Amino acid sequence: MEGKNTNFLRSALKAKEVGILLILVLLSVLIQLKNPIFFTFSNLMDMGRNTSYTLIIAIGMTFVLIAKGLDLSVGSLLAICGLISALGMQGGIPVVLSVLLGLLAGAAFGTFNALCIVKLKIPAMIATLGTMYMARGLVLVITKGQAVYPLPDSFTAFGKGSLLGIPNVVLLAVALAAIAHIVLTKTTYGRKVYAIGGNAETAGFAGINVAKITASVYVISGVMAALSGIMTAARMGSGQPSVGDGTEMTVITAVIIGGTSLNGGAGTMLGTILGALLMNVLSSGMNLVGVSAYWQKFVMGLIIIVAVGLDQYQRGKRRS
Amino acid sequence: MEKILELKNVSKSFGKVSVFRNIDLELYRGEILALVGENGAGKSTMMNLLGGVYPCGQYEGDIFVKGNVCRFRDANDSKTAGIEMIHQEISLHTELTVAENVLLGNWKESRGLIHWKNTYEEAEKYLKKVKLDVEPKTMAYNLSTSQQQLLSIAKALATNPQIVLFDEPTSALTETDADNLIGIIKDLSKNGISCIYISHKLEEVFALADRIAVLRDGNLISTYAKEKVNVDRIIEDMVGRKLEEMYPKRKLPIGEEALRVEGITIPHPYVKNKNLVEDVSFSVSKGEILGFSGLVGSGRSETMNAIFGSLKKSAGVVRLEGNPVQIRSAKEAIGMGIGMVTEDRKKTGIIAPMNLRENMTIASLDMVSSGAFINKKKEKSISGEFYEKLSVKANGIEDNIMNLSGGNQQKIVLSKWLMKDIKVLILDEPTRGVDVGAKVEIYNIITELAEKGIAVIMVSSELPELLGMCDRIIVLSRGRVTGNIGRDDFSQECIMRAATGVETWGI
């Protein structure tokens, strides 16, 4: 029994996520020393809530990056799908159906991305960049720059609500991350996602339908972006046209800090969770410590370089 | 003779794993020294050490060039000392012209701009040295594999090296092209350039080398003058045991027809009204090993890809056990019991970020899962079984595939199909880049498959391998079948005559 425990400890220490976990802990301790508000329940829940909106999209992005793809459209999809749900509710469609409508829209945009990439062979970066502008444009056309509100109370109540003190959105994000972890590590589908990201040609020769799996990750990404958009609308009580601007970069950063490789074939959900957390602890921590907003972007950039640099260094060491 | 390069007591290890120990080796001016040994013996690492890939401080011992001790910090230091490397994997800038590649980074300039005329003229000089007859303005991607290999050599010569290291330069070439390359290397040595030549092909080594050094498990076992040694002795030194029989061919009763191909035609992807493969027909029976020979561009791999559904054919029928079948994708081919080991292991055989277990089961996920979920226990036991059975040399099934030598990687690729219940196995260059020891192991596996009644199609550029292993050989020349030769009529000559299109045989 003891042997098993030490084995577990040893493999846990060897895990790739240890580095980023250490940074996260260290950072938290530093912030706490400067400002004891950090480790209060309400602040932690606040950070958890903020992290969750990023994390939900990052779950989809992890699938995309593992499959050696890229999805720049998530920020715009967040906006348009949240908006579609909000418009549905204003138009008298029941809340649950409106939410479904928003998710469906996410799936439809994801499918559009997938078709451009798989059928038209447009590089993922270009295809999703196009979708990003088109979706953002549609948002502005529909709203003419105006927010859509008010939204039904039952909807906003869910967005702002909590269970046993834990915000609903946190519970949702954690549950989805857990499911995504299981899908990636335990199912044949997950294995195929890693395989096409690791080497699409080999995967094809092994009988994997590369086009189908590639398409699927963009649909997942679209739905996740939609869900995050709907939860954002529920929290704000309105559909905002400018919401999610630049979110794609935050999300991609979180996933990459979490150890997922842009070269495809590698990455974990645990890493993505830690990456999303780190991004958030950092920004809220800097506020708590009183770092000027001007410096915050700089520090964020520095952290990306340090985190990915450390990861590369570790990989190099493991290889030799 | 002048000693141009000397290694004194050189050892190299990666962490705890020692690659080679206490190597003493000399190279004289104008000499061709062949370095042979199984994969993992340490040859490539030694080349990389000389090439500055592993800088000074990462190894023990001393390297002397013309009597001066050298401490290379990187590949540039090594180039400055007059050492050039020709890698096994051709690495050119295919989006640049031939001339730009030859003089990469040293283009002729005038007033800060590239002087193209001088650049082309200068490049032509080196192209002539390697007998590469192409326009310097040609884009490198238009060159065939062999031409690209010659181009790499021209590029190396452009720095006026004194020592050129060749790491299996012919592994991607056909025999004719390889012969041409050997002639060129001989010319280099006549001009006073010293060469170290790594190869698995012993005929090549004997045709080329002045001296032969054998490495085994990181030790320098022996060094011979070529005249004083024979192939058997070298192989014995390499594997450390008597090599009874290279080809474990067993005469087997040949069963019913497994696969029949009728009139396959594959159009050229870019040129209209031109076919890569035209009207190719053949059949292979259960328990038979059918060889496929032909020069580069003869359409061997294309034919196999068309059968496997990964290349579109414009005409032709495939029959499996007598029934016509439609195969439009690799997935469908696999579903019908056809497996294929592809020509390019790195590109289409392995998945680099995955471990051995994941690589082995990637075509058999259905077999190791219940519903959508992978059954880890089952996966481990099946991959473990084949890992043991093929005596793969690695740190267990969780090891990353990139840590393995070529031969061991190939065993993993083979096991992908061995664990499936297949009727036909297509092997495209199954022993490319594989050392002698592992080759024999792979031949044994192939023989075993035939004994089990699997129809094996073996495409190979190495004639001895086809002659040693096959029951029948189909020869292709420029997309057409020019030979169908039974084992009793096998000879290198008749195959080469058919392959070059001089005459047809048996059709």
User: What is the pLDDT, as a whole number, of residue B280?
Assistant: 94
Residue B311 has pLDDT above 80, yes or no: yes
Q: Are B300 and B266 in contact (CB under 8 A)?
A: no
The token pair at B441 is 């192991």
B66-81: average pLDDT: 87
User: What is the pLDDT, as a whole number, of residue A1?
Assistant: 40
Distance from CA of A226 to the nearest CA of B (A): 26
B232 φ/ψ angles, rounded to the nearest 5 degrees: -60, -40
Residue A10 has pLDDT above 70, yes or no: no
**pLDDT digits 0-9 by tens, B427-459:** 999 988 787 778 888 999 999 999 999 999 999
**Between A186, A194, A197, which is nearest B373 by CB?**
A186
Which three-class secondary structure string do you get for chain A? CHHHHHHHHHHHHHCCCHHHHHHHHHHHHHHHHHCCCCCCHHHHHHHHHHHHHHHHHHHHHHHHHHCCCCCCCHHHHHHHHHHHHHHHHHCCCCHHHHHHHHHHHHHHHHHHHHHHHHCCCCCHHHHHHHHHHHHHHHHHHHHCCCCECCCCHHHHHHHHCEECCEEHHHHHHHHHHHHHHHHHHHEHHHHHHHHHHHCHHHHHHCCCCHHHHHHHHHHHHHHHHHHHHHHHHHHHCCECCCCCCCHHHHHHHHHHHCCCCCCCCCCCHHHHHHHHHHHHHHHHHHHHHCCCHHHHHHHHHHHHHHHHHHHHHHHHHHHC
Sign (positive or negative) of CA dihedral A18, A24, A28, A30: positive
Establish if A318 touches chain B: CB-CB under 8 angstroms: no
| Stretch 323-352 of chain B: residues touching chain A, C-beta under 8 Å | 329-331, 333-335, 340, 342, 347-352
Q: For B368, which residue in chain A has the nearest alpha carbon?
A: A188
User: What is the pLDDT, as a whole number, of residue B242?
Assistant: 54
Alpha-carbon distance A81 to A102, whole Å?
A: 5
Q: For A320, which residue in chain B has the nearest alpha carbon?
A: B14
pLDDT band (50, 70, 90) for residue B31: very high
**Between A194, A201, A263, which is nearest B347 by CB?**
A201
Average pLDDT, chain A: 89
Residue B201 has pLDDT above 90, yes or no: no
B460-470: average pLDDT: 87
**pLDDT digits 0-9 by tens, A233-272:** 999 999 889 999 889 999 999 999 888 988 899 999 999 9
Alpha-carbon distance A239 to A86, whole Å?
A: 6
Higher pLDDT, A87 or B216: A87
Q: Which residues of B touch A198 (CB under 8 A)?
A: 351-354
Which uninterrupted H or E stretch holds B285?
strand B275-285
User: What is the pLDDT, as a whole number, of residue A212?
Assistant: 96
Residue B20: CB atoms within 10 A of its CB come to: 24
The lowest-confidence range among A8-22, B135-149, B361-375 is A8-22
Residue B33, strand partner residues:
B196, B211
Q: Are B123 and B99 in contact (CB under 8 A)?
A: yes
Q: Is the pTM of this model over 0.95?
A: no
Distance from CA of A61 to the nearest CA of B (A): 19
Residue B200 has pLDDT above 80, yes or no: no
Residue A11 has pLDDT above 80, yes or no: no
A62: which residues sit within 8 A by CB, 6+ positions away? Answer: A180, A184, A255, A258, A260, A267, A268, A269, A272
Which uninterrupted H or E stretch holds B84?
strand B83-86
Higher pLDDT, A217 or B395: A217
User: What is the pLDDT, as a whole number, of residue A292?
Assistant: 84
A4-26: average pLDDT: 69
Q: Which residues of A touch B310 (CB under 8 A)?
A: 204-205
Q: Which residues of B touch A194 (CB under 8 A)?
A: 351, 353-354, 358
pLDDT band (50, 70, 90) for residue A135: very high
The token pair at B423 is 């009727």
A129-155: average pLDDT: 92
Q: Which residues of A touch B352 (CB under 8 A)?
A: 198-199, 265
Higher pLDDT, B303 or B58: B303
% of chain A residues with pLDDT over 70: 92
CB contact under 8 A, A194 and B363: no
Q: Are A106 and A114 in contact (CB under 8 A)?
A: no
Q: Which residues of B touch A195 (CB under 8 A)?
A: 351, 354, 358, 362
CB contact under 8 A, A191 and B358: yes
Alpha-carbon distance B26 to B331, whole Å?
A: 53
A26: which residues sit within 8 A by CB, 6+ positions away? Answer: none
Closest among B14, B17, B436, B30 to B246, alpha carbons compared: B436
Q: Are A149 and A237 in contact (CB under 8 A)?
A: yes
B126: which residues sit within 8 A by CB, 6+ positions away? Answer: B102, B154, B155, B157, B158
Residue A3 has pLDDT above 50, yes or no: no
Q: What is the ipTM of this complex?
A: 0.87
B397-414: average pLDDT: 91
pLDDT band (50, 70, 90) for residue B15: low
User: What is the pLDDT, as a whole number, of residue A274?
Assistant: 93
Residue B263 has pLDDT above 50, yes or no: yes
